Amino acid sequence: MKSAVIDIGNSRIKILSEEHGFAVIPINETGGDWLDELQQFVGKHTFPSSWAISSVNPNAETVVIDMLMGYSSIITSSEYILDNQTLVDIRQVNGAGSDRIFGLIGALEYTKPPLITVDCGTAITINYLDGGSVFQGGAILPGISTQLKALHHFTGQLPLLHPEYEDVAYGNTTVQAMTVGAVWGAVGAIKEITSRIKTSAGNPTIPIVFTGGEHPLVVSAFEDSEPILSPHLVAEGILLAYKSLEPENSTDSE
């Protein structure tokens, strides 16, 4: 049976189906439009009755599961998948979000370990999988949009901005200066942290796999290291891990 997964983030829901491909639905938790859009998408396609689901957004997760159960769906949780998959060893890290782990699993579709993933979303997460496929940990920092929202929220005069790429060393307006600071501050942090991981591992050629909605704002700064790009990395990882459990995933679920 063809499989389908849902990855519920803080700002977007991503659906990946072997039969229907990929779809993204923005989340607005103050209204029901996103749920209507999701229900229409699921309703107009023939999906399997079994779904794998991963979420970092408990409120949206509850609503999505209730909706899917209306289609007599069987929901396999990320906890069950992660507890039973053998693609990566996650025992060295405590409390890591499922999105970080599934991103590492998804990266296995593109390169062999050791590898680093950089997920540029609401938060930027940097994650290191060593040569033995052991998740060693990483770093978490505010995403670019999150930084700009914080500047607006915690100051009296700075505007609320949507991030855009700025290929300049400094800004000559407040808006440009904020954008330069957020984008290139993120680039600097990613470069420093990934460099320190490579130095610690004694391997300067560890590949970096970029994902997340804001990765196009930073990835050009890494062209010299030939970055790997995968906009749907977490969903791909859920699907890969889920399918690795076959035939279990046809009978065991939560």
The answer to whether the bond into 247 is cis (omega within 30° of 0) is yes
Nearest residue to 119 (alpha-carbon basis) of 194, 237, 209, 179: 209
Can you tell me the distance from the alpha carbon of 254 to that of 251, in angstroms, rounded to the nearest whole number? 10
CB 26 within 8 A of CB 34: yes
Across the beta sheet with 228-229, what order do the strands follow? 135-142, 123-129, 115-120, 208-211, 228-229
Those residues with Cβ within 8 angstroms of residue 39's Cβ, 6 or more apart along the chain or in another chain: 67
**Strand-pair partners of 55:** 8
Nearest residue to 148 (alpha-carbon basis) of 177, 190, 115: 177
> Can 167 be counted among the known catalytic residues?
no
Those residues with Cβ within 8 angstroms of residue 241's Cβ, 6 or more apart along the chain or in another chain: 52, 81, 82, 85, 87, 102, 105
Structure tokens at 66: 């209730």
Structure tokens at 109: 């579709």
Structure tokens at 84: 């039973």
Q: Which of 7, 99, 119, 130 is catalytic?
A: 99
3-state DSSP assignment of residue 47: coil
Can you tell me the distance from the alpha carbon of 103 to that of 96, in angstroms, rounded to the nearest whole number? 12
Active site residues per annotation: 99
